[in-house]
Structure 1
């Protein structure tokens, strides 16, 4: 497929532990820039883009200027850490990425966990891959023939044996301390019902991956934030003293990095099956469950220590579809909330004018500046906006098809 803009050069992506000797960023002839995820004792404290070939002194100075403080992981006795069930829904289309995801999970430095891979498109063709997955003692494979990521997630939730159930995708790489960060947070904070964390790119090698990152479509904050609903309202307060709408779900986390107390997620009914990939709604199942969790009065923590690396979409045609899906999934999610609980009509009516302002800021602010400078395709913004308009009808199609 022809690209709408000249292809941006690939960007080298590196995780840099700033308490250790810094790497030499030599120019390799392919990468002009490097995106650095700055870690302090394994916890993200900043992101920095620098030219390849930068000298060590300049690199050190730039890192010192942007690296923030990190909140240490809670000190918890290993015996108090909860048993965690990690659920990986998959349609088994990308066997290499799925295996890499499971291999990174198997290497977790966590005492008690299981991995549940849900095959959402059962086929005899999957036999060899399933055999390779089940060679790991901690891995189980469950089959869910009903199409849709929400059905797959609910199958994993049903099969989970852990006190905590964690969801990730089949294109994610998890650092060794990921589950420790999640389990420690739940053990130290009994009131916390859900933990989410940032997504950082594993690579930025193709134009689609670079434009996806510039779109700002994933949770990238590197500050710990606690979210609670203000009782009797449709607003959420944060540990930083902010107030935002319950429906500003982009702040709460992303599907490839969500963990819940198992009993809480089951009490919410799991994922809404007419939302998400594999349904006409296309997306929306992940923000939906986080909004419902907060609306029910539970506490959610976004913890940068619980970060994962995500392999962004490599193909531009797929990115076009995904951008439409993100827009459609969001308004399908809002429609679903109203369908299931009419009180959300009041909340969304109050949010309406503010939502228009936020949309204008999104599409005419930094995004528009990137479009004007030739750094982001205008058609991707148009597709996302069209998705926003189409979302309610996509949701109704999902209901008619009884997903």
Structure 2
């Protein structure tokens, strides 16, 4: 088939994608109910997702919780005339099943509605003091929603720093002064670039831990507690990442992105140790996209500072187009610190809305991937032998990662996605998917070849973009106020 008819077919497929409701359903803790001698089914709570209307008939993307804890997602279609709560609860129980006692959360920090045992209460270390950094640029409306959710966190000791990156108006400053006052610190970083803005936030942070999220998320009330609790439990952790789910699935672009994994990394907690590389990760640590995303990550502050922070020549807002978060993950691992992923730390992300947004995102992801790899090798040449040893597998991985993917294909291994690393779209209960919610069984929509080609082009451009950004940044960084100059790349 020639390219023109194929593109037309892809466009028709894209335009035919309908909206999906987003909701969350909380099943009672089966162990607690059983221990009390009651019905493990108990009371079920169904809530719409952030900014969504009440759930009605039609297709629903559902986060399933158990006792408040996220345990998976599913995609179900509520029949017209059916009660959504009853229908979705039945489907959720089919998929999740009773929770075995062995899977009970190990520490009170991961418990929402089940009272912790006295013995674990005594041994739980206090949550570390934390600084939450949000970099933003001219998005005051959505920033307000993010800040409202952050101020509702149940973490006992945190501050919020908003870094206003290369602003062209006073909108962000005026919003913070008018609505948030002293509850939120406002800092201007005149040099454009997400990594530069994040580094400015790190320098301003007072907390033992620095957490990062974006201005287009809504944080779950326990997000910060769950994201920082692993640091208290494991002194060797340098970084923790969390779960990202879609806040809305109203446009074809949003649904298509989530159908192919979105930003989720599954519902299985995992720790990555540089001294004990995972057997199922032959490219470790260079497939950093498996570890998490910049909208939901936290670092031990002294560890992040010791590695020089994020490379300012990476990230959105620079010619490199991205890769700053991936760079940070690998630098921390390469320094000998562990990285932990927890699905209990949840934020809801507002995906981009249009086809053009997806095109820019695909190209930017490709560019950011190879830009961050270039940054690693430039700033940490000792990683070159390990990189070259993994290069043949890496090239094969890149080809499959950017391949066009048909609907219904089992693409977990070929797309380089970890066990359970998706947000559930495509794992429809009506199709009889066998894995737990959040599994990676099938796709509800084909991935357009156009987007795959753009991602490959971005990968070819990434090293050039990084070197351009590196050259362009030296002067502006020297002139940035109140900041000691550090060459791009920071500490070696």
Q: TM-score, normalised by structure 1?
A: 0.89
Confirm whether residue 222 of structure 1 aligns to residue 267 of structure 2.
yes
Instruction: Check whether the contact 1:37–1:46 (CA below 8 A) recurs between aligned residues.
Output: yes
How far residue 364 of structure 1 moved from its aligned partner, in angstroms, is 4.0
Confirm whether residue 400 of structure 1 aligns to residue 447 of structure 2.
no
How far residue 30 of structure 1 moved from its aligned partner, in angstroms, is 8.8
SS at match of 2:273: strand
How far residue 386 of structure 1 moved from its aligned partner, in angstroms, is 1.0
What residue number does 2:130 align with? 84
What residue number does 1:380 align with? 451
Instruction: Check whether the contact 1:74–1:188 (CA below 8 A) recurs between aligned residues.
Output: no
Q: How many residues of Structure 1 are paired with residues of Structure 2 in the alignment?
A: 392
How far residue 397 of structure 1 moved from its aligned partner, in angstroms, is 1.3
Residue-by-residue CA offset, 1:308-350 (whole Å, 9 max, x unaligned): 1111011221221111000000001111111112222212211
Matches within 5 A, 1:70-81: 72=105, 74-75=107-108, 80-81=126-127
What residue number does 2:397 align with? 358
SS at match of 1:280: coil
Cα distance in 1 for residues equivalent to 2:240 and 2:180: 28
User: Which of 7, 21, 27 is the aligned partner of 2:44?
Assistant: 21
Q: CA 1:80 to 1:401, structure 2 compared with 1: closer, same or farther past 3 Å?
A: same
Instruction: Check whether the contact 1:9–1:32 (CA below 8 A) recurs between aligned residues.
Output: no
How far residue 368 of structure 1 moved from its aligned partner, in angstroms, is 4.0
What residue number does 2:222 align with? 177
User: Which of 323, 326, 343 is the aligned partner of 1:284?
Assistant: 323
SS at match of 2:170: helix
Confirm whether residue 297 of structure 1 aligns to residue 336 of structure 2.
yes
Q: CA 1:400 to 1:242, structure 2 compared with 1: closer, same or farther past 3 Å?
A: closer
Cα distance in 1 for residues equivalent to 2:136 and 2:372: 22
How far residue 123 of structure 1 moved from its aligned partner, in angstroms, is 4.2
Q: Which range moves more in the overlay, 389-398 or 243-252?
A: 243-252
Instruction: Check whether the contact 1:10–1:30 (CA below 8 A) recurs between aligned residues.
Output: no
Instruction: Check whether the contact 2:56–2:78 (CA below 8 A) recurs between aligned residues.
Output: no
Confirm whether residue 67 of structure 1 aligns to residue 96 of structure 2.
yes
Q: Which range moves more in the overlay, 337-346 or 307-316?
A: 337-346
User: Which of 380, 391, 405 is the aligned partner of 1:341?
Assistant: 380
SS at match of 1:38: strand
Confirm whether residue 40 of structure 1 aligns to residue 59 of structure 2.
no
Residue-by-residue CA offset, 1:236-289 (whole Å, 9 max, x unaligned): 338xx7665210111111001111111111111111000001100000000110
Instruction: Check whether the contact 1:86–1:114 (CA below 8 A) recurs between aligned residues.
Output: yes
Q: TM-score, normalised by structure 2?
A: 0.74
User: Which of 360, 364, 380 is the aligned partner of 1:321?
Assistant: 360
Query: Larger Cα Rg: Structure 1 or Structure 2?
Result: 2
Cα distance in 2 for residues equivalent to 1:164 and 1:100: 23
Residue-by-residue CA offset, 1:47-75 (whole Å, 9 max, x unaligned): 10000236666534431232275652633
What residue number does 1:256 align with? 295
Matches within 5 A, 1:189-204: 189-204=234-249
How far residue 182 of structure 1 moved from its aligned partner, in angstroms, is 2.1
Confirm whether residue 111 of structure 1 aligns to residue 156 of structure 2.
yes
CA RMSD for the aligned pairs?
Answer: 2.8
Q: CA 1:57 to 1:358, structure 2 compared with 1: closer, same or farther past 3 Å?
A: same
Cα distance in 2 for residues equivalent to 1:388 and 1:71: 42
Q: CA 1:250 to 1:369, structure 2 compared with 1: closer, same or farther past 3 Å?
A: same
Q: Which range moves more in the overlay, 164-173 or 115-124?
A: 115-124
Instruction: Check whether the contact 1:332–1:395 (CA below 8 A) recurs between aligned residues.
Output: yes
Q: CA 1:340 to 1:41, structure 2 compared with 1: closer, same or farther past 3 Å?
A: same
Q: CA 1:62 to 1:183, structure 2 compared with 1: closer, same or farther past 3 Å?
A: same
Instruction: Check whether the contact 1:73–1:181 (CA below 8 A) recurs between aligned residues.
Output: no
Q: Which range moves more in the overlay, 123-132 or 287-296?
A: 123-132
Residue-by-residue CA offset, 1:148-206 (whole Å, 9 max, x unaligned): 01111011101100111100000011011111112322222222221101110001001
Q: Which range moves more in the overlay, 275-284 or 123-132?
A: 123-132
Cα distance in 1 for residues equivalent to 2:360 and 2:347: 24
Residue-by-residue CA offset, 1:354-387 (whole Å, 9 max, x unaligned): 123323433447x244699863322111111111
Cα distance in 1 for residues equivalent to 2:339 and 2:125: 24
Cα distance in 2 for residues equivalent to 1:73 and 1:218: 26
